[in-house]
Structure 1
């Protein structure tokens, strides 16, 4: 049934628009980049997996490609236009904005929500995805979501035509308690863990290569936490990050043949 619904919805959507990540090997595997108006799950396969870095790199390109969006009319009847926004919903409490700035993210166009509960993060994500002024939404959760919740996020992404990333931690395992659609105020669904059914258009598992340093998900090397990096001040913020390599397994890709695992360099 889930696959039938996805096929029907894909016919209604028409031409598929994509946003590249800037990582050539990954973009080729994805057919040109991440699908706009779609939910993408990035699963950390081990500590230091650069899931957040990949999402931020794609979001940066979504910001650049989106341009100004219509908002309203000013006092003399001229249309006002707003610059698109990137929304980061931090359900883990470990997001460090200066590190995002190092990747090129314009902090003046970044909104951060510190969600105390996964249900709050899901609600904020769904609302933001429906907003045409939001080019991309990244949400990091401490536990997976069920199929009904993922369908709500996918439908919200389609309505806003933006880019949606769900970052899932490596500690999530099959059988773990999932965030359900009941948490968003709808009827609950079934399924838990990163192997559960999902309406996301893609699902990738990212694992650092054996020769890469542990990065805390940002690709900046070392085992530094947000607190320790902050103590190092401007010198660290402007330092050049060491190269990071990671394996990408494409666990799900809508309307595409299976893709062999690939090695990417950040």
Structure 2
């Protein structure tokens, strides 16, 4: 089973690029998109045809042109749950839960804190509220796959210039500690589990085009899995060379 996660930084613009030819070539069973910035009714019939063969669950933000996630499934899933029951976060279109026979998938676009401390606080509150939900699902006996743009680099190996970014949102101690609490709750960073010493990035700032050219990036996109699912993890690939967004796609392969 192949699952792809990609922050597309605007789905309508993304569909005008060659990126979807690459996606179709991978033949993924599940596609998780973040930051779609659009509602399905804003897409043309031709654009919707791109998703042929997939059942699509949409969770756009109420605010136009902002945030939003979509999950596309080619195989049978039991149900989709939009949001996670916290209104102040759900209006921003940040979570879709998809239940399969043997696990529940959470496609998540975590808030960014780069616009100021108020949003850092909002981001940390989101992390905490979602963690509470995850613990509840684990307690109910569910195995989870949590994927998306976490907007946090966990360790120094996960960004090119850690010393320069100690006070930058995305690498602040309190953000890293909050992500660490997800690991303490029984989730495992599947990429780092397989590749403990590999430095690879999934996001490069668009403000400086040379950042991607020189690989001055951050690893912000993850597949976290519940510990019982680790034995099913075949590989995790970060496709740094694939363009079309300021993020690149990440793929989890399950046995």
Flag whether TM exceeds 0.5 (same fold).
no
Q: Which has the higher contact order (CA 8 A, sep 6+)?
A: 1
TM-score of the two chains, using structure 2 as the length reference: 0.33
